[in-house]
Amino acid sequence: MSYATEKLTEEKVFKDPVHRYIHVKDRLIWDLIGTKEFQRLRRIKQLGTTFLTFHGAEHSRFNHSLGVYEIVRRIVDDVFKGRPEWNDDDRLLTLCAALLHDLGHGPFSHSFEKVFGLDHENFTKKIILSNTEVNQVLRRVSDNFPKRVEEVIAKTSKNKLVVSLISSQIDADRMDYLQRDAYFTGVSYGHFDMERILRVMRPREDQVVIKQSGMHAVEDYIMSRYQMYWQVYFHPVTRSAEVILTKILHRAKALYEEAYQFKQAPAHFYSLFKGEITVDDYIHLDESIVLYYFQMWQWEEDEILSDLAQRFLDRHLFKYVEFDPAKEYKKLSELSILFLKAGIDPEYYLVVDSSSDLPYDFYRPGEEEERLPIHLLSKNGEVRELSRESSIVDAISGKRRTDHKLYYPANLLHDEGQHKEIKKQIRKLLDIE
């Protein structure tokens, strides 16, 4: 028996609040879960700073990765198996890609990527292809297996069907995170009939299609996605925490570049500051490390770093007002000048944050869009794009919603110990008197 086909003597199960059980029978999958790079995902929260808004949202990328694996396992083992359009030789490739798709996520990914110009997809690739435990396990299947898995995750594989299971507008990744994030945040949105969707999925040469009879379940999935984005993912308080986190990182980097003497030398950040981070450095960086430095930075001499770190840890977040960049960008310049006059650095304390979502879009032939649509399969074998069949989906197709907010430190603006008149002017401009 080859390593690729080797089964565990007894099936292992993980108890899971979303899928009830996660089943592992393949030796390869079990070994991948045991690698240090995969175990590291336990120390990275799935929803970053959302726990400061929804206190239950402490779940990790480890939970989610197992969930995506389980969904894909059910699709390939229970729905696709035996169908002529499905090649069972792709089973293991698909399961590995599902399990490892988020391997390169770092702590508070979004902020880190923004400040240090990182790309978690690139780290996923590097972890899979370089000398890591994950790579060693994958290579036991064959020398080019790590590369094949990486190509599926990066969407550069020629096997479009497998890619679409992991990454498309209705993929295992989204189906897991919507339900998992709804469960852990405690919101009532995010629920849809996944069992139904899985049952009506069908493999085709270059993508997964959905049987026409499952259209209403897909409509429900798209609506729950829409609600989760606006109720949870783009929650303004979460965004405030993220703004502060981003500014802490910016400040620490700026101080390093000015040769500032930190009381607690940020050794784990040096390679990030220099833009020379290796895979090994990256793997060792997790949220415990980052939060440790935030604790230490509270006591730094630098007032901005110390204040921002305290704000994050004690949840003294920035307040916000609605902001229309088109009409108010001149006001923003005015505010920046007033902030400077009031001794509050606008680079760190006056921040515009934008969120935007497109719940569903489709590729119109000849247009230059790049989103693969959801296709419905009718009884006569014809395949039609979802929004042509569903008036609910048609109503929201291509409709992007964007929200801009301007964040500021309310306590500093209300402290009239200094620059009383200027602060009054600022409050008036912000309309927070």
356 touching other proteins, by CB under 8 A: yes
Tell which one of 56, 236, 266, 346 touches other proteins (CB under 8 A): 346
Minimum CB separation from other proteins for residue 220, in Å? 24
Site for other proteins in 396-425 (CB under 8 A): 400, 402
Please report which residue ranges of 80-214 form alpha helices under DSSP H: 91-100, 109-116, 120-129, 133-139, 145-153, 160-166, 172-185, 194-199
The one segment of 50-58, 115-123, 176-184, 308-316 that binds other proteins by CB under 8 A: 115-123
Characterise 138 by phi-psi region: left (phi > 0), alpha (psi -120 to 50), beta (else).
Answer: alpha
276 touching other proteins, by CB under 8 A: no
Report the length, in residues, of the chain.
Answer: 433
d(CA 366, CA 341): 53
**Side chain identity, residue 179:** Q
User: Measured from the CB atom, is 21 or 363 closer to other proteins?
Assistant: 363
User: Measured from the CB atom, is 84 or 366 closer to other proteins?
Assistant: 366
The one segment of 177-185, 301-309, 343-351, 375-383 that binds other proteins by CB under 8 A: 343-351
In sequence order, which residues have a C-beta less than 8 Å from that of residue 128 and are 6 or more positions away?
100, 103, 134, 135, 138, 146, 149, 150, 153
1 touching other proteins, by CB under 8 A: no
Tell which one of 23, 25, 114, 196 touches other proteins (CB under 8 A): 114
**Side chain identity, residue 145:** F
N-term to C-term CA, the chain: 74
117 touching other proteins, by CB under 8 A: yes
Count of residues touching other proteins (by CB under 8 A)? 32
Minimum CB separation from other proteins for residue 40, in Å? 22
121 touching other proteins, by CB under 8 A: yes
User: Measured from the CB atom, is 127 or 187 closer to other proteins?
Assistant: 127
Site for other proteins in 239-268 (CB under 8 A): none
The one segment of 7-15, 249-257, 270-278, 352-360 that binds other proteins by CB under 8 A: 352-360
Site string for other proteins, 27-46 (x = CB under 8 A): --------------------
Which residue's structure tokens are 């990914």? 109
Site string for other proteins, 295-334 (x = CB under 8 A): ------------------------------xx--xx-xx-
Return the closest-CA partner of residue 47 out of 154, 140, 178: 178
Q: CA neighbours within 13 Å on the CB side: how many for 77? A: 12
Tell which one of 336, 341, 345, 424 touches other proteins (CB under 8 A): 336
User: Measured from the CB atom, is 114 or 427 closer to other proteins?
Assistant: 114
User: Measured from the CB atom, is 147 or 268 closer to other proteins?
Assistant: 147
Sheet holding 208-211, edge to edge: 201-203, 208-211, 375-377, 383-385
Please report which residue ranges of 186-299 form alpha helices under DSSP H: 194-199, 215-228, 236-257, 270-274, 279-283, 287-297
User: Measured from the CB atom, is 231 or 336 closer to other proteins?
Assistant: 336
Asked if residue 329 lies in contact with residue 335, where contact means CB atoms within 8 angstroms, the answer is: no
User: Measured from the CB atom, is 158 or 379 closer to other proteins?
Assistant: 158
Tell which one of 15, 20, 158, 379 touches other proteins (CB under 8 A): 158
Site for other proteins in 366-385 (CB under 8 A): 366-370, 372
Minimum CB separation from other proteins for residue 351, in Å? 8
The one segment of 59-67, 244-252, 364-372, 388-396 that binds other proteins by CB under 8 A: 364-372
- Burial class of 334 by CB neighbour count within 10 A (0 to 12, 13 to 18, 19+): middle
Instruction: State the Cα angle at 195 between 194 and 198, rounded to 5°.
Output: 85
Minimum CB separation from other proteins for residue 130, in Å? 12
In sequence order, which residues have a C-beta less than 8 Å from that of residue 206 and are 6 or more positions away?
160, 161, 164
Which residue's structure tokens are 């409050």? 427
Sign, Cα dihedral of 144, 148, 153, 157: positive
Minimum CB separation from other proteins for residue 157, in Å? 9
d(CA 335, CA 329): 10
429 touching other proteins, by CB under 8 A: no
Q: Which residues bind other proteins (CB under 8 A)?
A: 113-114, 117, 119, 121, 154-156, 158, 325-326, 329-330, 332-333, 336, 346, 350-352, 354, 356, 363, 365-370, 372, 400, 402
